[in-house]
Structure 1
Amino acid sequence: MKHPVAKTVGWALVHAARLHRTRIGERLTALGLFPGQEQVLHALSTVETMTMGELAYILRVKPPTASKTVARLAAQGLVERTAEPGDARIVVVRLTQEGANRASAIDKLWVEVENELLEDFDNKERKRLRKLLRRVARNLAGATALDHGDDDVDDDDDNDINEGAD
């Protein structure tokens, strides 16, 4: 007999998220990365530089956690850390060329896993699922003080990252 929570939406969501994270993790290993590091590279790929505080905020982690991840990426030559001119207490982070290359590879990997994830979904189902998950995120964000809000939660321009794949 299955446990009653096994039939809940939350349980299904957690199960699907774990499977997705496992699949992404398998693919990241081939790039020499661990889960979580791709989020740092992605965040840095959208700007020229970012402070450690900004990075921690975007990733929704504490500054020491962001710092530890950045240190590991710096050891791989994927990011550079420098002190802010005029205030050495502020650390600025940027991608190296190899980090930018790896970020590009992560984008491709993400699209490939997205295609696996939504293999038998048509565009209408994809859009509907995305909107429903964004509503779930808004509901949970309103219920927790840990979330800082999500700038792209409502950003649904009706374009799929792999539109035309159907």
Structure 2
Amino acid sequence: MKHPVAKSVGWALVHAARLHRTRMGERLAALGLFPGQEQVLQALATTETLTMGELAALLRVKPPTASKTIARLALQGLVERRTEPGDARVVVVTLTEEGARRAASIEGLWSEVEDELLNGLDGKNRKRLRKLLRKAAKNLAGAAEGEGLEEPDDELEETAA
């Protein structure tokens, strides 16, 4: 049975995104991670240190959500939290050695799942699809900005490409 809006670009995008997230979830489970946690590890692997506020902004989540994720990763020994010298209100997060190892493993998993996702598309079509998706995201971010919501960070888009 086909979904009523199966010809919709939005439906196709949501469907592909759900399948991608499920597939990544299966792969991440082998590393003892849940979907979303890999984004934190990858962000810290590229910047080494982030405050909780910076992390929440980068991931486009509310600070309590970022805090819960960091707490779970800290229990696994993948990140360390410490307060900023001189301002105990600011919490700084860094990767542990094990966190860095897992972050490196995530790159390989991401590439494998992306190859599965884009199987049958040549380099030109992959680049075109990436460009079209970025344009669509920018359109939605502009609409959200008009409603008082924050625009997504282009830097995160680059790391996800």
TM more than 0.5? yes
Instruction: Please state whether the residue corresponding to 1:32 is helix, strand or coil.
Output: coil
- Residue number in structure 2 paired with 1:18: 18
- Residue number in structure 2 paired with 1:46: 46
- Residue number in structure 2 paired with 1:117: 117
* Matched pairs, number: 156
Alpha carbons of structure 1 residues 114 and 19: separation in structure 2 relative to 1, 3 Å: same
- Percent of aligned positions with the same letter in both sequences? 74
* 1:67-97 CA distance string (max 9 Å, x none): 0000000000000000100011110000000
Question: Is the 8 Å Cα contact of residues 28 and 34 (structure 2) preserved in structure 1?
Answer: yes
**Structure 1 counterpart of 2:46, one-letter code:** T
Q: State the alpha-carbon separation in 2 of the partners of residues 83 and 72 from structure 1.
A: 18
2:154 to 147, 151, 155: 151
Segments of 5+ residues of structure 1 without an aligned counterpart are 156-160, 162-166
Question: Is the 8 Å Cα contact of residues 137 and 153 (structure 1) preserved in structure 2?
Answer: no
Question: Is the 8 Å Cα contact of residues 23 and 113 (structure 1) preserved in structure 2?
Answer: yes
Q: State the alpha-carbon separation in 2 of the partners of residues 107 and 43 from structure 1.
A: 12
- Residue number in structure 2 paired with 1:105: 105
Judging by fraction of residues, say which structure has more helix: 2
Q: How large is the Cα RMSD of the aligned pairs?
A: 1.7
Q: TM-score, normalised by structure 1?
A: 0.88
Question: Is the 8 Å Cα contact of residues 144 and 151 (structure 2) preserved in structure 1?
Answer: no
- Residue number in structure 2 paired with 1:141: 141
Deviation at 1:149, TM superposition (A): 2.8
Segments of 5+ residues of structure 2 without an aligned counterpart are none
Alpha carbons of structure 1 residues 86 and 100: separation in structure 2 relative to 1, 3 Å: same
* 1:31-76 CA distance string (max 9 Å, x none): 0001110011011111121100000000000101000000000000
Alpha carbons of structure 1 residues 15 and 3: separation in structure 2 relative to 1, 3 Å: closer
- Residue number in structure 2 paired with 1:126: 126
Question: Is the 8 Å Cα contact of residues 74 and 81 (structure 1) preserved in structure 2?
Answer: yes
